[in-house]
Structure 1
Amino acid sequence: MKLNINEALYTNLLEKNYEKALNLKNRYSFINANLFPILSKEERDMVSDFQEKNVKLVSFSNEAYKNGDAYALFPKWGENYQLQRMNPYDGNEGSCKRQMLLNLCNVSLSPEADMAATASSILVGNSLFHNPNRTEIQEKALKKIYNGQSIGGIGITEIDHGSDAVNMKMQANIGDDGSITYNGTKIYTTNGAVADYFSSYGVTDISNPRMTMMLTLFERGDEGLKTERLRIPGAEGIGVGKVTYDNVTVPADRMLAKPGEGYKRLFRGLTPERVAIIGAGIAGIWSALAHGVIYSQIRHQFGKPLFKNQGISHTLDDIYSKAAAYTAFAFQIADFYDKKVGNKIHHGEKPNPTDEGSVAVQAAQGKYLISKFYNQAAYEVVQTMGGRGSISEFNSNSSINRLENLSRLIEVLGGHRNIQLMIIEMGLKGTTAMSITGNVQKAKRQERKIQNRITELNIKRAESILVKEAKFLSDGTKAELTMIISKIKEATEAKNKIEQQAYTKALPKALRNAGKEVHKAKKAR
């Protein structure tokens, strides 16, 4: 009798020798051998503690993955403060560097749970932590999210406003009693389908979103709030969702940022989010590399280990070299943020705008490079491992296939890669402007002279056509040329640059049309 696919049972078919060699402890050992030399004793001790706890959670994590639940680890991680280490909390110091080291440990255990934790404890956690005047309900939410008792989802992306988040249309209204009402829909909210708390942005005036953007805390169960799960193949077990706000009204103590302040908080929150994503990317690269290096040295083909074949070893060598370089860059970004921005926020001080701009560009550079390479590295290792890399057994210590699936999403999360390039472009333009301002201005002046000369020649040509070729032109064309010439001269005399530019651009087209009329009329004769 033929079995239905849903009746077919999964089992552990993987070779025991490979399974033992690829266990989490061995993969951690490989990562530590490469990174411990560049870490301080405090950092090494912290990483060792995280890893020791995670090794004990392997069976629990595998069972959670089998059940499609990326959140089962939250309470376990929460007990050891392993959901976030970016912000200081409950006696634990916080920094971006510590967060990256946490990612290095958690991704190897469960890449899905790490992604969900970043959305909950970093994105939503930061929106609460960065509010210096937290109310009782906000403090309660922050504590439960950091302890893993609750899940958070942040509402930024909308159906027609993904990358263009600053022009969101979520309608927010503030009542006379200070209560806040939201109407609209957020989409692709990580954890949105299962979240207990929603930190969501809205605008009180959709025609002026930047100056009226605000941030509000909502809870599952608020009347009018509806969540639906979206199926994201690369994010198994993660409740990415669509969240609808249908006249959802909450009291004043839920406001996290008042109108106008929300815009600043949005951008201030994007940089640490991207730094956390960089950490996840670095962790994914090292985890993928650990799989490839270990497997290739115990898997034999043609009478020798795979690693003895240069087609395999050179691929891993390339990943190894780039992993080291990108890790150094990631730590540099983290250190800059911690010293120049994070520490000031933690002490209630306002960071220097120039420092915030600099680290925003660095974070964009890091996210662009590292998230892109994460996917490439995972893909190459999967190919190196052949069939072993393309399956994902529930009870297996191998998570390379899961890493590859999830790595495809990292370039989209926290701002699409093209958005990162736009930020990088602004940084490139800004830093060069500081060093070559005089040259730029000189080039602009020279360009203006050339354009003015071209305009003068076009005007002379137009005036000549109006005199010498008038009999071949229609009245409409003659009137248009005359008007444009007159407008350019008037705008130049009045120094009206806008009209001058507009009519200067219109003149060449009018000349082309006149030339066609003359040619057609002469040909007809």
Structure 2
Amino acid sequence: MIKSMDVLKMPLKLSEAVYGNLLEKNYNKALSLGNRYSFINSNIFPLLNKEEQDLFMGFQDVCKKLLKEVNVDDAYEILPKLGEHYMLQRMNTYDGVVGSCKRQLLLNMAVNGMAPEVDMAMTASSILVGNSLYHNPDRNDIQEKALKEIYRGTKVGGIGITEPEHGSDAVNMKTTAKIAENGDITYNGTKIYTTNGAVADYFSTYGVTDISNPRRTMMLTLFKRDDPGLSTERLHIPAAHGVGIAKVNYDNITVTKDRMIAPPGEGYKRLFRGLTPERFAITTGTLGGVWHALATGTIYTQLRHQFGKPLFKYQGISHVLSDTYSELSAYTAFAMQIADFYDKKVGEKIHRGETPNAMDEATVAILAAQGKYLTTRMSHRATYEIVQLMGGRGAIDEPGSNNIINRGENISRLMEVLGGHRNIQRMIIEMGLKASTSMAIGSNIKKAKREQGKVEQNITQLVMARAEKMLSEEAQFLPDDEKANLSNAVNKLKAAVETNNKIEMAAYARVLPKVLSKAGKAVYKAKKAQ
């Protein structure tokens, strides 16, 4: 008989398990935000002038004061506090506060160390949505109010570009926009992976009035969360814990004409003009994340002892850090070069309400693509390696701890996708490669094309001769359908040559070898069967 004291207890629920802290006080103190900033400053300050150094230190002071108020489960709670210090963006001059790419770089590097989730959320709101409003020279009172609230952090913005079937191919979007006679705008469609979409107050969204001609009909419109027909669904993305990425539905949602940020056709230009500063902000936030990861790894491995000496004394450890250090320093210098170019050639003109030179915009777009591709590619690899150097402690995310490298590694997984997939950046870089040589070797390229054209023409003539010979000498071995196909291809190609129809010449020059090959197989089978 089982006594009451012997009754088995139910298994303990995971939710009832108590968390403990593994990071000792000495490690936690050494990894403080202030110490990480000190490490970064010693490497960044030589690249900055006195004004920029002071600005960077000011950003750091605010972040150190606000650190305890950060809620990693909700990146948005701290935004109004940052907004009070004009620290949600410093790319654009606004409200008497000077903006530039260099200032934005320093801001991202400071905030990322405080909380990478906050850096991601504020960049999506104040740079992506903020720029779409800021770059509108004709913004009205409604748009100005939205811009001010976003920059001050009292409201959050999310930008609507990506769609379920149109990620990298953002231009050919299917979200439709209709403009009524009175100017009212109606949207129908779905956007996904909208950063901040789960909580956003404002949505800066692209749509097209003609899906068959998106470039000339793309427009940009401002929506509010309480607009009838707008609904959001948060997406579960573990790597972005604390950031509300969402699917946003636009179901026959109608707004007044004063919500139009860019008219049809202008939206396409605005989309690509906005991608360059977006990619630059992603680059600088990524650099900030790696600098803080490197600081964490460098500090930790000098404190942690194994086999009687610090981990840093082992080359298997220090060489990994040294490689990251060298690569990161080079990319940081490159990012500052991009910032200077953008500020002088593009940003200053935008701030004055002028249109930048097209060549300058193209150049900085390629530079931004290079920067984003290189830094984001390096980021996940570098943070992962540093996590490994720290063993089990690198994988732990302890509430209130200064060891945030695990959270930084999670965020780094997304950076190659945000702002254009890495393969899109490669395509842009490829265009830069071609453009950089086209002027110098233009005549050589034309000559090579002419020579290649002659070779292809000779090949085509040989194929035609072989086809005609088969039709005359081996016709008895050809099935009727194969004979008809071959005869048709030869005649079509001849007609294209006689009329100098280059399009059909090229098409049938590709088709004829395939038809001839198939006919040749039929002749071979027929001869073998005899």
TMscore range, shorter length: over 0.9
Per the normalisation by structure 2, the TM-score is 0.97
- 1:106 deviates by 0.3
> Aligned letter for 1:382?
V
- 1:8 deviates by 2.4
Aligned partners of 2:255, 2:475: CA distance in 1, in Å? 73
* Residue in structure 1 matching 2:59, options 45, 50, 61: 50
Q: Tell me which residue corresponds to 2:4.
A: none
Deviations 1:47-85 (A, max 9, x none): 011111111112112xx12xx111111011101111000
Aligned partners of 1:270, 1:237: CA distance in 2, in Å? 24
2:30, 2:299 within 8 Å by CA — same for their partners in 1? yes
Match status 1:376 vs 2:381: yes
Q: Tell me which residue corresponds to 2:344.
A: 339
Aligned partners of 1:232, 1:476: CA distance in 2, in Å? 56
2:178, 2:185 within 8 Å by CA — same for their partners in 1? yes
Match status 1:14 vs 2:23: yes
Deviations 1:29-56 (A, max 9, x none): 0000111111010000000111111111
Aligned partners of 2:417, 2:53: CA distance in 1, in Å? 31
Deviations 1:492-513 (A, max 9, x none): 1211011111111121122212
Match status 1:434 vs 2:443: no
Q: Tell me which residue corresponds to 1:364.
A: 369
- 1:428 deviates by 1.2
Aligned partners of 1:473, 1:122: CA distance in 2, in Å? 67
Gaps in structure 1 of 5+ consecutive residues: none
* Residue in structure 1 matching 2:396, options 391, 401, 404: 391
> 1:192-203 to 2 correspondence within 5 Å?
192-203=197-208
Further displaced range: 202-211 or 186-195: 202-211
- 1:103 deviates by 0.7
- 1:174 deviates by 1.0
> 1:162-201 to 2 correspondence within 5 Å?
162-201=167-206
- 1:181 deviates by 1.0
Match status 1:71 vs 2:80: no
Further displaced range: 83-92 or 501-510: 501-510
* Residue in structure 2 matching 1:318, options 303, 320, 323: 323
Further displaced range: 477-486 or 493-502: 477-486
Q: Tell me which residue corresponds to 1:515.
A: 520
Q: Tell me which residue corresponds to 2:113.
A: 108
Aligned partners of 1:510, 1:231: CA distance in 2, in Å? 52
> Aligned letter for 2:117?
E
1:12, 1:395 within 8 Å by CA — same for their partners in 2? no
> 1:436-515 to 2 correspondence within 5 Å?
436-515=441-520
Q: Tell me which residue corresponds to 2:5.
A: none
Deviations 1:75-108 (A, max 9, x none): 1110111100000011111111110110110000
Match status 1:3 vs 2:3: no
- 1:208 deviates by 1.2
- 1:355 deviates by 1.0
Gaps in structure 2 of 5+ consecutive residues: 1-8
Task: Give SS of 2:166's match.
Answer: coil
Aligned partners of 2:508, 2:285: CA distance in 1, in Å? 53
Per the normalisation by structure 1, the TM-score is 0.98
Task: Give SS of 1:409's match.
Answer: coil
Task: Give SS of 1:435's match.
Answer: coil
CA-based RMSD: 1.1
* Identity level (%): 65
- 1:206 deviates by 1.3
- 1:4 deviates by 1.5
2:229, 2:252 within 8 Å by CA — same for their partners in 1? yes
Q: How many residues align?
A: 521
1:129, 1:142 within 8 Å by CA — same for their partners in 2? yes
- 1:12 deviates by 3.2
> Aligned letter for 1:83?
L
